[in-house]
């Protein structure tokens, strides 16, 4: 059996060494399975869908495809500079730089890709007190949070159609985040402004999950509730968190394939 994982940096492995990210931990629980990690930094469901299409265009196959999502769709599409959906967090920067001829453009883009743009949301030091001053508009702009959730759901549905039409099985997971549920966060300095906007997107996503009632979508957003320290920032986790998710996905995949635990 071949299982392919898609997601952003939380699936890619930021915060843990390579042996303690979700795919290899899943593989330890299922040693007979061929596991591939297709996750990339800052990917949201739209980029994952593109990557999935590229996979099949190369005549690759998959018995099971897992999308692990929510954080990048919510956090990185809520900034005001993302004014057209669907989008990627780096769209504004590329839009400004792509057609310039400044020396050092490539170096500047690389620096922003791996530092300024990806970590900007995680480490924001200037607190804004009013909606007008907020860098996010998922609360203040009517319909934006619902639109993000709707696009995310449609991307999942398209991915499911692509995978199942080619004989595979698809699993979509709404991932945990420190802004939702009741995880332990007393060791973190979280951005309350981001948290409010983030939670609004998740609220709409969860409503759509309930409305659609697809049997292949699973809400794991509360899986880190409790007294253990798991988060290292608002979304990335230490190995103990990855172990929890790997076990959950293992159970889902095995149930889907009729394997008793």
Phi, psi of 101, rounded to the nearest 5 degrees: -120, 25
Report d(CA 178, CA 222) in Å as an integer: 9
pLDDT for residue 208 is more than 90? yes
In angstroms, the CA 64 to CA 140 distance is 39
Alpha helix (H) residue ranges in 98-224? 105-111, 144-164, 192-212
Task: Respond yes or no on whether the N-terminal peptide bond of residue 86 is cis (omega within 30° of 0).
Answer: yes
Report DSSP state, residue 123: S
The DSSP code for 195 is H
Strand-pairing partners, residue 65, are 4, 170
pLDDT in tens, 141-197: 999 999 999 999 999 999 999 999 999 999 999 999 999 999 999 999 999 999 999
Asked if pLDDT for residue 98 goes beyond 50, the answer is no
Closest C-alpha to 118, from 144, 88, 139, 152 = 88
pLDDT attached to residue 18? 87
Which residue's structure tokens are 């860098």? 135
pLDDT, tens only, 196-207: 999 999 999 999
| pLDDT band at residue 131 under the 50/70/90 scheme | low
Distance CA 12, CA 213 (A): 28
Residue 1 has pLDDT above 60, yes or no: yes
- Per this entry, what is the length of the chain? 261
227 pLDDT band (50/70/90 cuts)?
confident
Strand partners, 231: 237
What mean pLDDT comes out for the span 87-99?
51
Q: Considering the chain, what is the average pLDDT of its residues?
A: 88
In angstroms, the CA 230 to CA 237 distance is 5
Residue 146 CB burial class (10 angstroms; 0-12, 13-18, ≥19): middle
**Lowest pLDDT segment from 18-22, 193-197, 255-259:** 255-259
- Quickly state the pLDDT bin for 93 (edges 50, 70, 90): very low
Taking alpha carbons only, the member of 52, 72, 73 closest to residue 61 is 52
Helices (H), the chain: 9-12, 22-29, 45-57, 71-75, 91-97, 105-111, 144-164, 192-212, 239-256
pLDDT at 99: 47
Q: What pLDDT was estimated at residue 237?
A: 96
pLDDT higher than threshold 80 for residue 8: yes
Kindly report, residue by residue over 29-42, the tens digit of the pLDDT: 999 999 999 999 98
Q: Is 253 helix (H, G, I), strand (E, B) or coil?
A: helix
């Amino acid at each position: 059996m071949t299982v392919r994982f898609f997601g952003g940096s939380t699936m890619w492995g930021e915060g843990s060494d390579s042996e303690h990210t979700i795919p290899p931990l899943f593989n330890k629980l299922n040693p007979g399975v061929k596991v591939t990690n297709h996750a990339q930094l800052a990917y949201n469901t739209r980029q994952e869908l593109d990557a999935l299409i590229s996979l099949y265009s190369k005549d690759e196959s998959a018995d099971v495809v897992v999308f692990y999502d929510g954080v990048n769709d919510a956090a990185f599409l809520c900034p005001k500079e993302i004014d057209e959906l669907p989008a990627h967090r780096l769209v504004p920067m590329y839009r400004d730089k792509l057609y310039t001829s400044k020396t050092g453009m490539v170096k500047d883009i690389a620096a922003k890709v791996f530092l300024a743009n990806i970590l900007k949301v995680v480490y924001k030091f200037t607190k804004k007190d009013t909606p007008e001053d907020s860098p996010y508009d998922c609360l203040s702009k009517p319909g934006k949070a619902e639109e993000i959730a709707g696009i995310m759901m449609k991307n999942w549905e398209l991915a499911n159609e692509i995978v199942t039409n080619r004989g595979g099985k698809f699993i979509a997971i709404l991932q945990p985040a420190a802004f939702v549920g009741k995880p332990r966060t007393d060791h973190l300095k979280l951005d309350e402004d981001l948290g409010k906007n983030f939670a609004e997107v998740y609220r709409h996503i969860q409503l759509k999950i309930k409305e659609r009632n697809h049997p292949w979508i699973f809400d794991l957003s509360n899986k880190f509730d409790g007294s253990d320290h798991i988060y290292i920032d608002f979304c990335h986790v230490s190995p103990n968190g990855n172990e929890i998710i790997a076990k959950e996905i293992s159970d889902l995949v095995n149930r889907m394939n009729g394997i008793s635990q």
